[in-house]
Amino acid sequence: MWPDTLPGARRAAGFTLIELLVVVLIIGITVGLVVISIDPDEDGDIKTEARRLQELIRLASQEAIMQSNEYALEIGDDGYRFLVLSKQKWLPVEDSMLRERILPTPLYLEVFFEGERFDFMETEQDGEEEENPRIYLFSSGEITPVDIVLQAEGMEARYYVTTEINGKISLSTDEAQP
């Protein structure tokens, strides 16, 4: 007779090797997901947002040329939106690609016109109804020259989206800046 078929014999309690391996695998996957969600790649977020901004400006510039409309990019310290000139008024663009964008929490924008930083705080404290800075995208292909800096609080990485009057739009990092 086999030992487990003997009367009064008990089967040994425990887990098989496969059961233990499955549990270890599940724990490993769970820990990996937690680490990814707790420690996101903020440098990657800045780069992604900078590329998105660069490509959206390029898209809006092409739309301005193709539709013979004047567009503008209005920038806040935490986001941006595209506007179109319609009947002598600047209205938000009704296109899902060029919709208003709010940056993720640690990211913010700085704007430099001809090397001079636009101070968002100063315009808020003046009490005047001043507009946020605008970059104009003309139907002729010209763009307002500007440097837009994307960065995150507490991080050294910065990405620069630079527009030139001839319509060129470039992306660079701190290493490429003078």
Q: If you count them, how many residues does the chain have?
A: 178
Structure confidence at residue 21 (pLDDT):
87
Answer yes or no: is pLDDT of 178 > 70.
no
pLDDT in tens, 127-146: 555 578 999 999 999 999 99
DSSP letter for each residue of the chain:
--GGGSTT--PPP---HHHHHHHHHHHHHHHHHHHHHHS--HHHHHHHHHHHHHHHHHHHHHHHHHHT--EEEEEETTEEEEEEEETTEEEE---STT--EE--TTEEEEEEETTEEP-HHHHHHT-S-PPPPEEEE-TTS-B--EEEEEEETT---EEEEEE-TTS-EEEEEGGG--
Report whether pLDDT(55) > 60. yes
pLDDT single digits (tens) 22-44: 888 898 888 877 766 655 555 67
Looking at domain 42-176, which of 3.30.930.10, 3.55.40.10, 3.30.360.10, 3.40.50.2020 is its CATH number?
3.55.40.10
Distance CA(72)–CA(143), nearest Å, equals: 9
Task: Map out the domains of the chain as residue ranges.
Answer: 42-176
Residue type present at position 175? E
